[in-house]
Structures are given as structure tokens and as C-alpha cells.
Chain A
Amino acid sequence: MTITTTTYYPRAFMARCIFAWLTLILFYFFFTHSLVHQLVQPVLKYPGSDNTFWLVYATGIPSFFMQHKWAALLFDVALIASCILAVIFPQKKIFSLIAIVGSWLLYIFYCSAAGKHYAQIGYLITPHAFVVLNEKKFDLLWNLVRYWVCFLYTFAGLSKLFYGGFAFEGTMSNILLQHQALGNVFLEDGWRHTLSHYLIENPGIAQFFYRLAAMFEAACIVGFFTKKFDKWLLVGLVSFHVGNFFLLNISFVEQSLIFAAFLPWKKWAVHFQYNNKND
């Protein structure tokens, strides 16, 4: 029988893709020495003023995993294994749950050891929808994930207007100056360095890109009202992060999972003749 339409999101197919994606992100963490056991038992902690960090620290969980080499290694193995098992057995909710909880803990451990709470959170948000098996409920949760992403970017765009970065002419060139400071010490060259210097020297052009990015972020509000522009939101988000990567050297590997919220999963399910009965 040929599938020509699908009412619900193809949960199992998506689970396989999303958890495979998350596994790749974890491998990226491995190759960049940032899994828990690779942090070599950090001695300082930075819960900041974040209430959730406080509560998690109050349980003693971070200290246990961060201070015991074998516990840290077991944590990393369990996290990666749960992602791989979620790919193999997408209908077993337990693996998704372990992967989600593990990812949040990993985020807390990493930020605490690095002394800064980072905004690269795509790998935390997207897997949430997979805590249910019911198709209807999964549909609702996947839509919520999409709204969450739209909210975060809209908030980021509006913040640039509200906190003055948008109006102030020198914002982008001064941000670039800050990011280029180390490159200037090492007298780096290459087209990225040349482009950054050009933008630093031409604050008007740099600020044009900043404003363009802010307007795009604020425009993500459209995602609350229609899915018609998801293709363009996806193109915009990818361009935004590629731009950040080349100009500010901000990697978006961790953040890349937010792109999944705007992918045409239903169309792909039809294309690959995949329905939930395939699970």
C-alpha cells in the first residue's frame, strides 16, 4: 500500500533521526574533550544564581559525578548508550528518558566546570517530545518544542531592541573586536580574519548585519501563527548560525538540533513510505 498522506508526525522515524543526531553531538563532545570524564574532576563549581543549578547541586549529584573518575565515565557511557538504544528501539521510552535527563545533567556539569552558563541548548530542547509514545500526544509535544524554539529566538531578537544593542551604532563592531582579540595577539590572517577586520573598521556595515540578524530573530514570532514559513525560518536559522560561526567563532553543533523543529518530517514520512505501523 502506498502512503500518500500522514496525519501525525512519524514518531519512531523521528526518534531514530533525532537520537542519531544527538549521538553525533555527543561524539563531537568526546572529540572536543568535554564529556564528564574528560573534564578530569574539576575542582571549582559555578552554579551561579540559577535556582535549578542550586537544587541539583543541593542533591550532591554533580559533585559525585564530577569528583569520581569511574562514575563520570559510567555517566558518559550510559548517556551515549541510551541515545544509541533510542535509535535502535525508538518505541522504548526509557532510553529517551535517560538520554534527556543525562543531557541536562551534562549541560549542568559542563557549564559549572567552565564557569559560565552557555546558551547552546538545542540538544536539550528537541528530544523532550519523545517522552511519550502516543501519536496524538507526541504531535502536541513536538509542536510545543517548535513553539519553544520560536519563543527563544523571538526573545533574543526583542532583547536586542529592548536592551539597546540594536540602536547603538557600534554594537556589532565592538562585539567583533572582543572576539578577535586573541586572533589579533596571534597575528592570524585568512579570509575570516580579514572580513572581521573589515567589519570592525566599518561599524555601519557590521551593525547592518546585527540588525538584520535581530530582525530575523524577532520575526521567528511568525512561527506561533503559521507553519507556512517554516522553510524560511529554517533557512534563516541555519544562515544565522553559520554567520555566527564564521564571524564570532561560535560553534553551533550543540545548537543544531533546533533545526529539527522546522524540518518537513511528515513529507519525508510520505517520501520514505514510513508510517507509525512500521515501528
Chain B
Amino acid sequence: MFLQKIYKEWRLLFWAVLFFIAAQCFFMYKGISTIPFFLYYMYGQKHPKKQSIDVILLKTPTGYFNTNKLSGREQEMLLNPIDLYISLKTKGDGNTFNINHRFSSTSINNYFKKMLCNDSLSIEQFPTWWATYYKAVAKPLHDSVTVVKSSVSTTYPYLKLDKDSVIFKVKIN
């Protein structure tokens, strides 16, 4: 057995592996992914059908910019933080609650909030950062873009529903 082998041949590694297994079990039980103890359960849950699916669209003077033409990583970096931005604007930083929950000492509490949480200035600066990254990856010819939230029907022919709600508008050039 592999564990017996490492116990005989490299005792330190044996204890490290035992620690890793214990920590992995602990974080699985707690349901908190803590790298390197990954919780690899993506797409494991039931996915019931929704009425519509929310999408983030980039409205330009010449129509919607097709973000599917970007690479997966560029698309992730461009679209995903918008959800975080919306959440920060509407609900505030969830980590403030987590820090209050985890640390009772005021000094540690304040230090972690300073290092981990997004302040109002960062949130305010987000559209400007977003525009810089957009300019780098999309190389747009237009001079402004409006980021909107919309939805797509989940019944054939899966059309975009009419209503767009504006998240922010930025100047590009």
C-alpha cells in the first residue's frame, strides 16, 4: 500500500499526506474551498429550468459587441467581475460579514477588512479599470460602450428579451 511505502521510505511525507487528507476532509465537511484543498463539485447540482437566463451585454454604437469572439480567459476577465461589481454596489462586500463572523478582536478585524474588502473608492473606479481592459482585449473602433444586463428566453427560439438595464457607460477613447 502506498501509505505504508511512504511511511517506510519518507516519514515526513507520510505525515504531510495524512495532514493533507485530514484537512481535505475538514474543508469538505465545512464546504469551504481552501486551496490547495479544492472542492471539485462544479456542475454537480441539479439545474432546474429557468424562465430566462441573465446575460451581460456590451452595447456599442454599432450594436452588441460579440464577447464570444474573445478567448475564454478574456471573456472571464471582462464579464465576471461585473457580477461582483453589481453585488458590491447593491449588497456591499460580503467579506465584511465573514470577517466579523471569524474574528472578534477589533484590531485583527480591522486589519483583515482593510486587506480583504473592497472600499467605496475601488468600487467607484471599477468602470474605468473595466474600460482599460476592454480597450486592450477588444481593440474597439467605437468611443463608448454601455454595459447592460439583459436576459435570454429559455424556450425556442431562445430570443433575447427586450429589456436592457444599464449597469454603467464608459468612454473608451
A128-180 contacts to B, CB under 8 A, are: 136-137, 140-141, 143-144, 147, 152-153, 155-156, 159-160, 162-165, 168, 170-171, 174-175, 177-178, 180
Quick check: A181 and B34 within 8 Å, CB to CB? no
Quick check: A63 and B115 within 8 Å, CB to CB? yes
Quick check: B17 and A170 within 8 Å, CB to CB? no
B129 at the interface (CB under 8 A from A): yes
Q: Give every chain B residue within 8 A of A42 (Cβ-Cβ).
A: 81, 129
Q: How far is the CA of A250 from the CA of B76 in the complex (A)?
A: 11
Q: How far is the CA of A141 from the CA of B5 in the complex (A)?
A: 12
Given contacts A47-B95, A115-B83, A164-B45, contact A177 B73 (CB under 8 A): no
Quick check: A177 and B84 within 8 Å, CB to CB? no
Q: Give every chain B residue within 8 A of A93 (Cβ-Cβ).
A: none
Closest to B160 in A: A185
Total count of chain B residues near the partner, CB < 8 A: 68
B78–chain A nearest beta-carbon distance, Å: 9
Q: How far is the CA of A110 from the CA of B74 in the complex (A)?
A: 11
Given contacts A40-B129, A45-B118, A186-B68, contact A115 B81 (CB under 8 A): yes
A6–chain B nearest beta-carbon distance, Å: 18
Quick check: A181 and B55 within 8 Å, CB to CB? yes
Quick check: B84 and A115 within 8 Å, CB to CB? yes
Closest to B124 in A: A43
- The stretch that binds B, out of A48-56, A72-80, A270-278, is A48-56
Given contacts A40-B136, A58-B112, A184-B158, contact A136 B2 (CB under 8 A): no
Quick check: A47 and B122 within 8 Å, CB to CB? no
- Bits for A240-254, please: 1 = Cβ < 8 Å to B, else 0: 000000000111000
Q: How far is the CA of A143 from the CA of B1 in the complex (A)?
A: 12
A39 at the interface (CB under 8 A from B): yes
Quick check: A171 and B73 within 8 Å, CB to CB? no
A-B contact count (CB 8 A): 194
Closest to B102 in A: A54
Given contacts A115-B84, A144-B17, A163-B46, contact A152 B67 (CB under 8 A): no
Total count of chain A residues near the partner, CB < 8 A: 75
Q: How far is the CA of A231 from the CA of B13 in the complex (A)?
A: 28
Q: How far is the CA of A250 from the CA of B94 in the complex (A)?
A: 28
A258-272 contacts to B, CB under 8 A, are: none
Which 9 pairs from chain A and chain B are nearest by CB?
A115-B84, A159-B41, A159-B44, A174-B47, A163-B44, A32-B71, A168-B46, A184-B158, A115-B81
B residues near A (Cβ < 8 Å) are 2, 5-6, 9-10, 13, 17, 32-36, 38-50, 53, 55, 57, 64, 66-68, 71-74, 76-77, 80-81, 83-85, 88, 95, 98, 111-112, 115-116, 118, 122-123, 125-126, 128-129, 132-133, 136-137, 150, 152, 154, 156, 158-160
Residue contacts A-B, CB under 8 angstroms, 30 given: A29-B73, A33-B137, A40-B136, A41-B129, A42-B129, A43-B123, A44-B81, A45-B122, A46-B81, A49-B32, A49-B98, A50-B32, A51-B34, A58-B115, A104-B35, A107-B35, A115-B81, A119-B38, A140-B6, A140-B10, A152-B38, A156-B40, A160-B41, A164-B44, A165-B43, A175-B47, A178-B53, A185-B152, A186-B66, A249-B72
